[in-house]
Structure 1
Amino acid sequence: MKRIKVLSIILTIAIMVVGCNPNGGKDTSNKESKSAINSEYINLTMVKPKTINPITNKDKSVSYITNLIYDGLFTIDENYNVVPQLVDQYTLLQGGRGIRIKLKDAKWHDEGKVTSDDVRFTVDFIKKTGDSPYNKLVENIASVDTTSSDELTINFKNAYAFSIEKLIFPIVSQDKIGKSDKKDIDNNNNNLIGNGPYKVEKYQEREGITLVANKEYYDELPEDIRNIKVSIVPDYDAQISMVMSLDSDMTNISLGDLSKFQEKEFNITNYEGRDFEYIMLNYNNKFFNNLDFRKAIAHAINRENIIQEGYMGDATLVNFPLNSKSKYYNKDIKSLAYDKEKAISYLEKVDLADNVKIQNENTKTKNTKNIKNTKNTENTKNKDQNNKKSLKKNDPNLKREADSKLQTKKEIKDLNLKIIVNKDNGERVKTANIISDNLKAIGIKSTIEQLTPEEIQSALAGNDYDLALLGWELSITPDPVEIIQSSGYSDEKLNNYISSLLNSTSQEQTKSVYKALQKHVVDNVAFISLGIRDEYIVNNRRIEGELSPNSFDVYEGISNISIKEYNTN
């Protein structure tokens, strides 16, 4: 399950390139030089693995390598959209309770055919491995029925809008892994046969892995595809050191290490990750139950300035917790953009009595309908209008309404909103100060409390805050339900949208409901979205070509990378 992140930005463990052998075509007088700059390989690194079994491995740097060796039924592209991989054709069954699949003519690296039995075995294997990182992806699979060697049906326990997006786990060989004893499942020698674009030529536990292009790959690969050497290093810091010393061609790095690579030797590629930054509102505060007040706050906050000043441009502004290039992202949403005048005008409208009025809205609507169904003559209408004018002068309800607004204005003047933020996260602390200044500009006082992660969790649990600056690690599956429900906001229409989304039985229906859901969340200011943090790949300049990275597969597109002659002098 996704959870609120109140720690500082979590470092994504990265993959780097390691230099191994000098270029045999050059006369290298300095035999001690082992730099990757002189290597004919693309050089990567990974932290020493406990296993290279892709189903049981939990280390990100290792999984980025196994992604080169193993394919799944589907994968995630650079825009976080699902695309077929081993799947040739597929059809969702009526009612969304299953998917019928025809596999491509794919082979294992030992020339055996990838079959529907391998898919069934993989699903069962993941289910039996309770701590597999892919366990959540198969929990809705009831069974896998095979009808031929390349045809199968995956049956789901429940209809679910994102069933296809969950079929991204690697497929492993029943023949190789299925015949291993339980104690030998993680033995590296039993996990050398994959089905992906690269195959293992050599594996040595201390030195690393040599990967060569799979000439029998079912998809077209570039003619000049480069082989890869993966060196084993003890930790993330060693990966950074390797790329800085030019013994590694590329790695993904954390924001904290970005400044180390602002030199002429390196190129930096940034891409949207899955770390979503947002402001959560405390609905136990009566003001946040008022839509006009929430809109005032939303219009008061300069989100574009926050992205540039708070996060130093290292984030993408979004209106909803979803990658901005996703096919589900609603680009037509008219967000509540920064507008000081609008913020003040909405603040003027705030009347806490409205919270009570809304509860009587249904009764009021019914009465209005009855009035519309009554046939009145023109004379009667005129009499009614005159009576209303007469009543307005002495209407006690109007006086109470005026008194209520005056009382609300006084309470707003006395407000002091508590903003809580992780004191160890510099970007969020800067953002909190920007928000405080924005609120001050429309006449709302606030106090920033910088807390430890543990104190933030306690404050959230005890509702001891008004605004909370938080982070959320988005699921690789574009399911927004958990973060919406955790926000504390709820209404009947929202619940209907969520139900319709989760029970959607076609991609067209999913897109339509998702679009409406996003608009409803934004229009009602359920929470305030800020942005999605960038992640980074750094490479030395002997590497040519562009990767298409995402946080699921940072080496997407590596088969298109070429190497140029490079002079470090």
Structure 2
Amino acid sequence: MKKVKILPIILATLMVASGCSKSKTTETKESTVQSSLNSQEINLSMVKPITINPLLNKDRSVGYVMNLIYDGLFTIDENYNVVPQLVDTYQISQDGMSVDMKLKDANWHDKTPVTSQDVDFTIRLIQKNVDSSYYELVKNISSVSIQNEKEFTIKFKQKYPFSIDTLIFPIVSEDKIGTMNTKDANEIKKNLIGNGPYKIDKYEEREGMILSKNEDYYNELPKDVKDIKVGVVPDENALVSMVMALESDIASISLNDLSKFYEKQFNLTTYEGRGYENIIFNYDNPYLRDVNFRKAIAHAINRERIVEEGYMSDATLVNFPLNSNSKYYDKSLKPIKYDKDKAKSYLEKVKPVTDEELKQLENKEKENQKNAKKDTKTNTKVVETKQETKNVKEKEKEQDIDKETQLKEKLAKIDLKILVNKNNTERVKSAHLIVENLKTIGIKSHIVELEGQALDDAISSKKYDLALVGWELSIIPDAREIINNSGYSDKKLESYENSLINATTEEQISDIYKSMQKYINDNVIFISLAIRDEYIVTNRRVQGKISPNEFDVYEGITNLKTPQE
């Protein structure tokens, strides 16, 4: 399944073994107990950077450190909502084609002001470098119109409801970099002055850098912000090893790394990541075109148990492909709950929709849309439909048809193929739980485990009935690509998406998303399962709360304290 990746700065890098021997690790740990554990600095690590220009860097560990040094117009908070950073005020135009902005009284670390010209320069530098991690975010920007040193207008090529959400790239100094030449822009000496809460006091290519509090920061910082020492390691595996050896205080770790860290020495912070898991249907299957059959499946599947046992509680149950704390996620929505009796009741209503019937339904929908008296005729048809249903029931009673026998005959024709990635143990476990759930209501199913290109080919050629798939949610709260790849389409869903494209305010977006989420849930267009958790491990000597997300794992680091000398 294609993964949605809007912000590649967060991309996973190639994991290479560190090559450290066991004896070296032991020696490092012993020396660290005497240095890092008594240090007043907070110790971090990053992979050796190719560049420290935040716009041209591609390594996520370096990017997380650069987030401490550079701010953007906006940033992402712990709930994955966009919030102003360098921007003081902003106003989106009525047509959604531009946004007027005013900067805060922010300065660079050399005390010169952050200006509108810096914003324009930053956008042009990203647009010139198509391989920049932030290139996708500026593709829709046509120009920047500067009014004065602090006020400017960003103009867009096309209307996009999440235009503000794309303005999260770091702003760099035109005066310091001063060139669009990529080679020159990568020079270390041109990238030592930022505008964020930390400034670079010292940088050495092999040793790393020392960061200290920016006393001239435009936002209030705690009085006792600790200096940060950033060490350089050869690869991403070593980032975890450094924390284990007590040479680094904080690291982002995987679920597989959890067992390496002991509770007495480390604190664990769990946060909602961007790994979204769901079940999609093959709408070429005549049974799956019937909403009653999809509802039966949805009621039969115990999602809570899947999260608990399939994903080992390493996930958050969700009903839609948005982070559960997003301002656009409808927490009031009542999902289809696990209920075997309801599942069986929907099975009794199932009638497979043939290709011919599907065409007739589509033509009927088009005719209804053209009819000016749609509502009146619809009501009449509802009455007629109820009468027809009543007649059918009476006829069934007269003929003494055994519905249970009829249902068994219907289900005997069904054997659902459930497709899953054989290398993803959580999805494989979940698939077996689904098979077990479906069996309790009389639906036969079997699992097909594939990997790599074979899996992609099977999904694209629709050689499945149900498929457990994973996506990487975009930092931008735009769920349309996942929805459109569900394989389902109708005029109502299209109208919601068109309305969303034309929305220009948060209130409009929220209202449309609320209707869309209800419609997808009611029609079981796909079944959302969960969003995977991510982890930050922190040495217990460091006290205080951080609020990480996948955009900035060190969010809140200014609140951390170290032992007093």
Quick check: 1:73–1:170 contact (8 Å CA) kept in 2?
yes
Residues 511-549 of structure 1, C-alpha deviations (whole Å, 9 max, x = no match)? 111111111111111111000000000001111111010
Counterpart of 1:280 in structure 2 is 280
CA–CA distance in structure 2, aligned partners of residues 98 and 272 of structure 1: 32
Asked if 1:410 is matched to 2:417, the reply is no
Match of residue 23 from structure 2: none
TM-score, normalisation: structure 1:
0.88
Matches within 5 A, 1:98-497: 98-179=98-179, 181-352=181-352, 358-359=361-362, 362=365, 369=376, 410-497=409-496
What SS does structure 2 have at the residue aligned with 1:90? Answer: strand
Q: Secondary structure at the match of 1:278?
A: strand
Counterpart residue type for residue 219 of structure 1: N
Deviation at 1:453?
Answer: 2.4
Deviation per CA, 1:164-223: give whole Å up to 9, x if none: 111000000111112475422212222111100001011001010110110011111100
Q: Which has the higher mean CA deviation after the structures are superposed, 196-205 or 356-365? A: 356-365
- Write the distance in 1 (CA, Å) between the matches of 2:488 and 2:164: 29
**Structure 2 CA distance, aligned partners of 1:512 and 1:244?**
47
Does 2:498 align with 1:499? yes
Tell me the CA shift for residue 408 of structure 1: 7.4
Structure 2 spans left out of the alignment, 5+ residues: 6-10, 16-29
Using the alignment, how far apart are the partners of 1:330 and 1:449 within structure 2?
34
Once the two structures are superposed, residues 382-420 of structure 1 have per-residue CA deviations (whole angstroms, 9 ceiling, x without a partner) of xx9xxx89x9599999999x9999877634222111111
Match of 2:561 in 1: 562
Distance in 1, Cα, partners of 2:192 & 2:374: 73
> Which one has the largest radius of gyration?
1
The count of residues paired between Structure 1 and Structure 2 equals 533
Q: Deviations over 1:38-68 (max 9, x none)?
A: 1110000001111111111111000000000
- 1:510 and 1:226, CA in 2 relative to 1: closer, same or farther beyond 3 A? same
Summarize deviations over 1:4-40 as a string: whole Å, max 9, x none.
79xxxx96899xxxxxxxxxxxxxxx98865411111
Shift in Å at residue 245 of structure 1?
1.3
- The answer to whether the Cα contact below 8 Å between 1:116 and 1:146 also exists between their aligned partners in 2 is yes
Contact 1:353–1:404, Cα closer than 8 Å, also in 2: no
Instruction: After superposition, give the CA deviation of every residue in 1:334-358 in whole Å (9 maximum; x if it has no partner).
Output: 1111111111111111012595574
Q: Deviations over 1:362-382 (max 9, x none)?
A: 569979936989xxxxxxx9x
| 1:34 to 1:498, Cα distance in 2 relative to 1, 3 A | same
Change (3 A) 1:398 1:42: same
Q: Distance in 2 between matches of 1:71 and 1:133?
A: 16
Does the 8 Å contact 1:36/1:43 carry over to 2?
A: yes
What is the distance in 1 between the residues matched to 2:107 and 2:279?
Answer: 49
SS in 1 for 2:229: strand
Matching residue of 1:25:
none
The answer on whether the counterparts of 1:11 and 1:254 sit within 8 Å (CA) in structure 2 is: no
Asked if 2 retains the 8 angstrom alpha-carbon contact of 1:109 and 1:214, the reply is: yes
CA drift of 1:361 comes to: 5.2
Matched with 2:525 is: 526
Structure 2 Cα separation of the partners of residues 368 and 174 of structure 1: 60
Question: What does residue 65 of structure 1 align with?
Answer: 65
Structure 1 stretches (4+) deviating beyond 3 angstroms? Answer: 10-14, 30-35, 179-182, 353-373, 391-400, 402-409
Match of 1:199, as an amino acid?
A: K
- Counterpart Cα distance in 2 of 1:36 and 1:309: 39
Change in 2 beyond 3 A, CA 1:111/1:462: same
Identity %: 55
1:232-269 CA distances to partner (integer Å, 9 max, x unpaired)? 00112211111011111111101111111143101100
Structure 2: which amino acid aligns with 1:557?
G
Asked whether the equivalents of residues 40 and 563 of structure 2 are also in contact (C-alpha less than 8 Å), the reply is no
Deviation at residue 125 of structure 1 after TM alignment: 0.7
- 1:140 deviates by 1.1
Match of 2:543 in 1: 544
Residues 129, 397 of structure 1: alpha-carbon distance in 2 compared, 3 angstrom cutoff: farther
Q: 2 CA distance for matches of 1:534 and 1:490? A: 31
Q: Partner amino acid for 1:201?
A: D
- Structure 1: which 5+ runs fail to align? 15-29, 374-380
For the 8 Å contact 2:253–2:536, the answer to whether it is kept is yes
Contact 2:52 2:188 in 1 (8 A): yes
TM-score (norm 2): 0.88
Counterpart of 1:543 in structure 2: which amino acid? V
Cα distance, 1:97 vs. partner? 1.1
Match of 1:19 in 2: none
Query: 1:351, 1:408 within 8 Å by CA — same for their partners in 2?
Result: no
Give, as a single letter, the amino acid of the residue that structure 2 aligns with 1:527.
Answer: F
Question: Cα deviation per residue 1:260-313 (whole Å; 9 max; x = unaligned)?
Answer: 114310110000010001111111111111100000011110000001001111
The residue type equivalent to 2:418 in the other structure is: I
3-state SS of paired residue (1:510): helix
- CA distance 1:105–1:412, change in 2 (3 Å): same
Distance in 2, matches of 1:125 and 1:348, equals 61
